[in-house]
Structure 1
Amino acid sequence: MGTTDGHHPDALVIGGGIGGLSAALALARTAVNVRLYEQAPGFGEVGAGLQIAPNCTRILHEYGLLDEAVALGVTPAHMVMKDAVDAAELTRLDLKHLERRYGFPYLVIHRSDLHGLLLRACERLGVELVNDARCVSYENTANGARVAFADGRTDEAEVVIAADGLHSVARALLVDDETVNSAYVAYRSAMPSEQVRGHEVHERDVVVYVGPRCHFVQYPLRGGEMFNQVAVFESPKALAGVEDWGTPDELDQAFKGTCDPIQRGLPLMWRDRWWRMFDRDPITTWVNGRIALLGDAAHPPLQYMAQGAVMAIEDGWVLAEHVRAQQARRSDRSSGIDWEQALAAYEAVRPEHCRRVVNTARQWGELWHLDGVERLQRNVLLRARDTHDYAFTDWIYGPTALTPEEEPDLYLGIPLDSVEL
């Protein structure tokens, strides 16, 4: 069974999450005809809050979507890191000052709100959206690439963008690898802010409590009308190889001995679902012929840097920028896009940047979850940081997405044993 209408677009995007929608939008803005397939019967996102740093809000601004995103979310005043045991402040970022430095705001937004914003933008630009289509295979053809779906349908185009997530089918064309289990699990909740009034929460800040093998995050959403929480901890059951791991009994045990703000927040967590935290080892090859990985299919990170959705949006923007640059250089507009050249340019800049993000996220997770003497050494190190020191954010929040950058001088590279207590 072939496609239902026999018409082949210029590009297929597989996956209707934030990465797929943003890639479809970016390509459609260059006048590429895009068809997007999503395996679910409808478009939507589950989860709660997302943090969107300036390296992404600058892209939303370019798309004409930033004002709407800000109206749907919150631009917090500070990001504050505290010790989960005693609630003592360790360090903070002044997010208003950060906005002046990078030119664009730090935004927190509900995942479904960002997803809906991108979906509406795709619809306005005429992206063809197809649901109930689970892609099961990819292959290159003489003039492009073809995908096949579980119901027997096939489709093909000049290029296929595989935004099919952590368990990407397309990734197997490039590497025989497995997901990496961190043994950490995340619980989430989002509730009306009235439920936490009187809990001594920060209503205009992002607050991260870092503790022994656990951390706890709080911040406002939807103009302050909603409050978001994330509880993350290492699962003893996962470490022991137990199949049913990350369960609510482990949640309660993991946060015993933590400070009062966390204890007041724990009863509000959703306990009927949880998210086990996996990533993959970085790869440097994302393109196979006319098939290209994007988002979590290429670089699924652990969540500690809040860059998963951001990197996916950057991917689509970078690819479209190379398509646009090629269009500007073409003298014969009827000759079409040289997709090999565009994909090669995309692959030349994105894998290295995303490798650094994935590896740094792993380092940050280790730093956040220290115990004993190392926890105390970490706290001394963080308290010594100047609020307006951006040595460890310039490489990630600055406009680095289009060009390879030198290896950053990471704050996390300072050995803890160099700190005197």
Structure 2
Amino acid sequence: MTETVLIAGGGIGGLASGLSLARAGAVVRVLERAPALTEVGAGVQLGPNVTRILNAWGLSSALESVAAFPANLHARSALSGELLATLSLRDMPARYGAPYATIHRADLQTLLLQAAEVQGVVVRCDAHVQDVQNLGDAVAVALAHQGSELTERADALVVADGVWSVLRQQLLRDGAPRMTGHLAYRALVAQSDLPVHLRTQDVTVWMGPRVHVVQYPVCGGEWLNVVCLTEGQLEGVAWQELQGWNLRKTTADTRADLQAALTDACSSLHALVDACGEWRLWPLCDRVPMRTAHEHVQGRAVLVGDAAHPMRPYLAQGAGMAIEDAAELGHQWTAVPDCDVSMRLNAFAQARWQRNAQVQARAIRNGDVFHATGPVQWARDAGLRMLGARLMDVPWLYGYRHGA
């Protein structure tokens, strides 16, 4: 028997899940609330734990055509500009069997969409899933589509509608995401528009008191993604506005915010920030790390990606964990072919929740390390000078293999 799966959300987690399940033999339909499948945001870092999955799905050539493959990850002091340590990324294939890539989010979404459609996944836009009902041996969803109210039934529902998931609230009733008190200012700039000394094909993290800046190439290396992450709250912003990736302030206000955050930064970092023209603001929201497997599965509904485990970007693994979720879901679909769908979903939840909780917790900890002040900052810098790549490498993260 071929099972039918509905997926609520056509972002990275939804499309990756659709592709993985279709490869496992399911009939998949993706329901995306937006009128067209477009991606917001900017850059995404993909460690070898993620590119290994994409390669296994036959996407290595597609990835190579749009991604960049940085040679190094540098850690620098935002205050002095000192190079504290370097981790070689060109060695990742030898150490972990897959490369480290950086990619524009829209390119990653397009890559997954095209691969999913080749596998027979049907993507329907302007289809807003509003309600889910577990029926024991099936799931029913109510959706609005082009002005009509419809009900669809399937063997399972993948909830991939993001950090502000409406369906999570119906299934878990655990409240809204929390404000982290951290803000991300994001910019994309063509490398050709930068002075030669600011162009780079490496990843650099500049760490300062209560702020850090990360930069890396995307779009095959032709563009530079720059993100300034700082601590603070937004005043006078409606709750609904917090749900967007692309809040904007006036140019003058944005410049003032960045200058205040980087008051004591070195001239090289100021030059990089000044060279970026248009900045967009992303208020960071998350949840406490997962505590039980039930946060992944409720009956025939399974939550993946940010709907299940939104995390801070300080380990660069938000998209990565969504893709790992998708791979594990496809694995369980074929690993227990004679069992019912509920058993597959519960096996998925048991395989994933602790891994996701670990990454969520480590991302929070990394934020504290990146933004350290006083003696903790001095100890961090001294440790990087002495141990370098040993502190920056993350074998438990990069060496992970789903289904193992």
User: Could you say which residue in structure 2 is the equivalent of 1:305?
Assistant: 315
| Unaligned stretches of 5+ residues in structure 1 | 1-7, 331-336, 404-421
Q: Give me the whole-angstrom Cα distance separating, in 1, the residues matched to 2:59 and 2:91.
A: 22
Q: Give me the whole-angstrom Cα distance separating, in 2, the residues matched to 1:203 and 1:78.
A: 10
Q: Does residue 63 in structure 1 map to residue 57 in structure 2?
A: yes
* Contact 2:215/2:224 (8 A) holds in 1: yes
For residues 7-58 of structure 1, what are the alpha-carbon distances to aligned partners after superposition, in whole Å with 9 as ceiling and x for unaligned?
x971000000000000000000012000100000111111211100000000
Of 382, 387, 396, the match for 1:380: 382
Q: How many residues align?
A: 383
Q: Give me the whole-angstrom Cα distance separating, in 2, the residues matched to 1:85 and 1:204.
A: 22
- Give the CA deviation at 1:374: 2.2
User: Could you say which residue in structure 2 is the equivalent of 1:287?
Assistant: 297
With 253-262 and 308-317 compared, the bigger mean Cα shift is at 253-262
Matches within 5 A, 1:167-186: 167-172=164-169, 173-186=171-184
Q: Give me the whole-angstrom Cα distance separating, in 2, the residues matched to 1:304 and 1:94.
A: 19
Matches within 5 A, 1:129-144: 129-144=123-138
Q: Give me the whole-angstrom Cα distance separating, in 2, the residues matched to 1:341 and 1:126.
A: 25
For residues 350-400 of structure 1, what are the alpha-carbon distances to aligned partners after superposition, in whole Å with 9 as ceiling and x for unaligned?
01000010011000000000122321121111212143x378511110124
* Contact 1:9/1:35 (8 A) holds in 2: no
Q: Give me the whole-angstrom Cα distance separating, in 2, the residues matched to 1:94 and 1:262.
A: 22
Cα RMSD, aligned residues only: 2.0
| Unaligned stretches of 5+ residues in structure 2 | none
Name the SS for the 1:384 alignment partner: helix
Matches within 5 A, 1:182-261: 182-198=180-196, 200-201=197-198, 203-235=200-232, 237-238=233-234, 243=237, 247=249, 248=254, 249-261=256-268
* Contact 2:7/2:159 (8 A) holds in 1: yes
* Contact 1:353/1:401 (8 A) holds in 2: no
Q: Does residue 344 in structure 1 map to residue 351 in structure 2?
A: no
- TM (normalized to structure 1)? 0.86
Name the SS for the 1:134 alignment partner: strand
Name the SS for the 1:26 alignment partner: helix
Of 35, 52, 58, the match for 2:29: 35
For residues 43-100 of structure 1, what are the alpha-carbon distances to aligned partners after superposition, in whole Å with 9 as ceiling and x for unaligned?
1111211100000000000110022112211111001110101111122211112321
Name the SS for the 1:299 alignment partner: coil
- Give the CA deviation at 1:136: 1.5
Q: Does residue 395 in structure 1 map to residue 393 in structure 2?
A: no
Q: Does residue 126 in structure 1 map to residue 127 in structure 2?
A: no
Q: Give me the whole-angstrom Cα distance separating, in 2, the residues matched to 1:76 and 1:272.
A: 23
Name the SS for the 2:387 alignment partner: coil
Name the SS for the 2:214 alignment partner: strand
Name the SS for the 1:256 alignment partner: coil
Q: Does residue 12 in structure 1 map to residue 10 in structure 2?
A: no
Q: Give me the whole-angstrom Cα distance separating, in 1, the residues matched to 2:211 and 2:392.
A: 26
